[in-house]
Chain A
């Protein structure tokens, strides 16, 4: 009891003192996950819009697959990316294994289906509402997709935040392809796993506090977005 209490105050001390190691881990985590989410948006938003707008044979199957991929286990994604990037793998020559780039790739793959599926859902609803107007105006496919993305900006931002939440909190993919190398590929979740097993509970707890804070931040951002969207009747 007093033990965990002292761990907690040690952790708080680490956070507040601006411990260099702690902050370099946090910075790498943010860099990897934010980059992955940005890439996932670049792929996922147009993909979601396309699936919402364009009818083609097999679309339902693609959507079902996408929805299933929303819940991909991170370790499985990590395993596949590992196989692709390992020295004998198809992309082995790039020498990316155990680099932040590998972690970005893995998290992008992990998060893209989530963002695309959420985007597709909200843009499909919007498309139902706009379809007749857009057809009456004779809008091209690309303008239709651009308009849906812009008019869905609030719910799409929510989707991006959900993607960030998933990326920043996952451990399975980054530990496999990153290897948790100190100062190179060690991020918050992998550091927590390692430090806990080593018994350095203060550092683990400090990182845990940061993760919880980030989760709270993401959730309040989602709430604010939703509230703003409703106030402007943009929901």
Chain B
């Protein structure tokens, strides 16, 4: 049975839906530590999913595994029944916890991923994205000199420029001021309204309540809880989630 689902359903993966996403018995171990521990997870393509959990729980690792940047020690990941491939990854984008800024201006960071467009169309798109990210004042500034919040906004704009169907955001508003948090949440809403599935890691409970339709709570490399956002914040089912939401340390 497992064997059968290993094979792609058809050759033209690009025409097939990416959802449901199914991760089955995922294990990621490194130097004897099991960091992702038999994790199973199913997600559909609607809504914004918040991934929550304590520091070191394995949230960033999970995103890397789902996006195909890391290979699981064992277990399987299927996007709409298909295993990860370059084609599948090309339909996704990821903003890292510490965004990578190319050694170029902010605008050139965007231009870099719009390489396939004819020049005038590309310039127009760059201008749009710069405006949307509220970076007009900094378009010509070397990206690595932008403030933390500006870099986050640029990284999101760059991810968006690739026109993904799935967007992974790893703590996009950590260490940002309230106005920047607000600006990024607005962008996330716009992205979601465009029909893009957003999977966002956040420690900001208020943000998760504002944005998320459902929550995946990770504890020690496993999915401890997966629920609709309202239900999760109302009645967390596990002690770990309760402790996390109340700000208690758990050992």
Contacts and interface: CB of A to CB of B under 8 A. Distances in A.
Given A232-B142, A233-B144, A129 B89 contact: no
B100 A132 contact: yes
A107 to B, nearest CB: 30
B86 A138 contact: yes
Contact of A232 (B86, B92, B145): B145
B100 A133 contact: yes
A125 interface: no
Interface in A112-138: 129-130, 132-133, 135-138
A143 B102 CA distance: 14
A233 B103 contact: yes
Interface residues of A, number: 16
B162 A234 contact: no
Interface string B95-126: 01000101110000000110100000000000
A202 B86 CA distance: 67
Contact of B104 (A135, A143, A151): A151
Nearest to A130: B100
Contacts of A130: 100, 102
Contacts of B237: none
Interface of A: 129-130, 132-133, 135-138, 143, 147, 150-152, 232-234
B94 interface: yes
A136 B103 contact: no
Nearest to A138: B90
Interface residues of B, number: 21
B231 interface: no
A128 to B, nearest CB: 11
B142 A147 contact: no
Given A136-B67, A138-B90, A151 B144 contact: no
B100 A137 contact: no
B93 interface: yes
Given A138-B89, A147-B112, A232-B142, A129 B69 contact: no
Contacts of B103: 151-152, 232-234
Given A129-B100, A130-B100, A147-B112, A136 B144 contact: no
A138 B163 CA distance: 13
B192 to A, nearest CB: 20
A135 B69 contact: yes
A147 to B, nearest CB: 7
Contacts of B112: 147
Interface in B28-63: none
A234 B142 contact: yes
Given A137-B162, A138-B90, A147-B112, A132 B69 contact: yes
Contacts of B89: 135-136, 138
